[in-house]
Structure 1
Amino acid sequence: MLQDAPLSDVKWLETEALPNNPKIHSTADGKFVFKPKYDVRNRQELYQLLKRHEFRGLGGIYLDDLAEAVADVERVVQSLGDHVIQVVTPHDKKVVLFYNDKSFDLGIKEEFKQLWRAVSVEGMHELKIEEYLRRNGITSMSADRKTFVS
């Protein structure tokens, strides 16, 4: 109970402000409890949440939203290593976390990487590049389609 607040303010908090706040949950005995956006408490639950988001096509999760639920979230994210990709958004500079699905990693030989880096296509239109590749018998890479279960 708030000791120094006027009774009208306390009543307003109890009846309107706190019950209507999406981040506050009221218990059966009338107490108010903070409710984070994600119900995650540890490293394993964070890993599963990121993986679920990836496979359902929901995108990334703001680090700030996870900081509400996980103590020392930066350390937990670091412990996940390369299972997590961190991206800083350009407009608000917030960190967004994504699950790093290793099944999409391609093993590319160093020889091809060097060839790729040696060719400059700056200033060339994409259609012109496609036409050149087609004339030289080079087609785009394809693979079996991957199905996602939601």
Structure 2
Amino acid sequence: MNAIRRRLATTAGKASTRRYASTEHGHHSTASKPEPLGTGFYVLAAGIPLSLGVYAISRPGADGKPAALTKLISGYSDLKDRWATRNLLHANMMEQAAFEKHLFFGDKGSAHVNLKFPEIFNTGSPYNVQAGQGARNMESLVAHYEQLNAEAEAKKAKALAEKEG
């Protein structure tokens, strides 16, 4: 086994040796490439006429007219008033929304349970009613559901008071 391993190691060593294509023993030199002017030159070349143009439009006219740049800037001056109006309207809407929210959350609501169709409790086959199961007094049944509703409202009010407090 060692003999095979040694042979594989020497074969791998021979395969990884570096061979050079040429037989010369000197350094190879390549032809020089032309170098471009670069980005900085083009930025400078474009910046000079651009700055002269900005200077020219920023000067007032000979007859006292305001400069074109001044006219452009003053065209946006009315935005300040427009934004002030928008902010005032937004503040008024937010105050109204807060008032309505407090109005609705502060209301205790009605304690009355509206049973739209109380006779729903009497529907069904009269033959499936077991002894003592029938609801003869609807007032006690309505009172029972009003009590359940009042307890649920009390729990909600308590939870709301704990959340706010």
Band of TM-score, shorter chain:
under 0.3
Higher relative contact order (CA 8 A, sep 6+): 1
Bigger strand share: 1
Which structure has the larger Rg over C-alpha atoms?
2
TM-score, length-scaled by structure 2: 0.18
Bigger helix share: 2
